[in-house]
Amino acid sequence: MTTMSGPNEGTGSRDGAGAPLLAIRDLHATVAGREILKGIDIVVPAGEVHVVMGPNGAGKSTLSYVLAGRDGYEPTQGEVVYQGQDLLAMKTEERARAGIFLAFQSPVEIPGVTGVNFLKTAVNAQRRARGESELDAMQFLKLARRKAKELDVGEEMLRRSVNSGFSGGEKKRYEALQMTLLEPRLMILDETDSGLDFDALKTVAQAVNGMRSPDRSILMITHHQRLLDLIAPDCIHVLIDGRIVSTGDRSLAHELEKSGYAQFAGQAA
């Protein structure tokens, strides 16, 4: 079932249906002077859900940071084309305004910045960039309350400082809340499922599924089959030691669950 050939041939079903939303080609990147990504190829057509799986330390979070534009995660070779634009030339905030959203594996605590202030500033920054009118305090609160309710995020969490003192599960739901408020085009979910109990996982999966549309794509980093049962992926990529060693359809995930990453060990070298 596994195709060992070039990127995304396993999803060839939408042949030529417009340009891909995201095309990563031969991407290399270093962190603290060490090469962590050693040639990544992933093409995500609009509307598809792609999954990146791989052992700890393979470079999955590094890939997500490079896509989001974090300082210190330096691309050294290859290219990333997003909506026809050179993504790597854009600043972090420009990428976000162009519709890229990274749900962090470890969301950052920011004491002193209240949720409402943070979320409103972000939503309005993005609205301004799209030439839309900004939401006033009342309009924003109404929207935030509605979305928070859908995600079981308590209203008092909006008043608290961003992520400060939140439990692991609360942080993940808070990431999902930001995602539904910002309505991105490309969602990068870095282990959004870890640390969630099954009910919370279902809530988050529902939010993600609720946002799926023909012009939105998802790049989902996960270890867990159970999330794949809730959000049906179009394509699975296996990332080992900075390289995509295999790309295939859902059956690849089942295979991984049965026999682990060891079967790919040879290709990683």
Ligand X SMILES: Nc1ncnc2c1ncn2[C@@H]1O[C@H](COP(=O)(O)OP(=O)(O)O)[C@@H](O)[C@H]1O
Which parts of 54-93 interact with Mg ion (CB under 5 A)? 60-61
Residue with tokens 């900004």: 134
State yes or no: residue 68 binds another protein (CB under 8 A). Answer: yes
* Choice between 32 and 138, CB closer to Mg ion: 32
> Cα separation of 170 and 74, whole Å?
31
* Choice between 136 and 257, CB closer to another protein: 136
CB of 67 to ligand X, least distance (A): 12
Q: Binding pattern to Mg ion, positions 4-43, x when CB under 5 A?
A: ----------------------------------------
State yes or no: residue 102 binds another protein (CB under 8 A). Answer: yes
Which residues sit at the interface with ligand X, rule CB under 6 A? 31-32, 36, 54, 56-62
* Choice between 70 and 212, CB closer to ligand X: 70
Helix 115-129 vs helix 168-182: crossing angle, to nearest 10: 30
State yes or no: residue 168 binds another protein (CB under 8 A). Answer: no
> Cα separation of 5 and 187, whole Å?
26
- Angle (CA) 263-265-269 rounded to 5° is 150
State yes or no: residue 203 binds Mg ion (CB under 5 A). Answer: no
Three-state DSSP state, 75:
strand
CB of 240 to ligand X, least distance (A): 9
> Cα separation of 54 and 261, whole Å?
7
- Which of Mg ion, another protein, ligand X, none interacts with 112 (beta carbon under 5 to 8 A by kind)? another protein
CA 111 vs CA 87, 108, 182: distances in Å? 31, 10, 22
> Cα separation of 27 and 230, whole Å?
30
* Choice between 91 and 258, CB closer to another protein: 91
* Choice between 104 and 264, CB closer to another protein: 104
State yes or no: residue 89 binds another protein (CB under 8 A). Answer: no
CA torsion sign for 138, 171, 190, 31 is positive
> Cα separation of 152 and 42, whole Å?
34
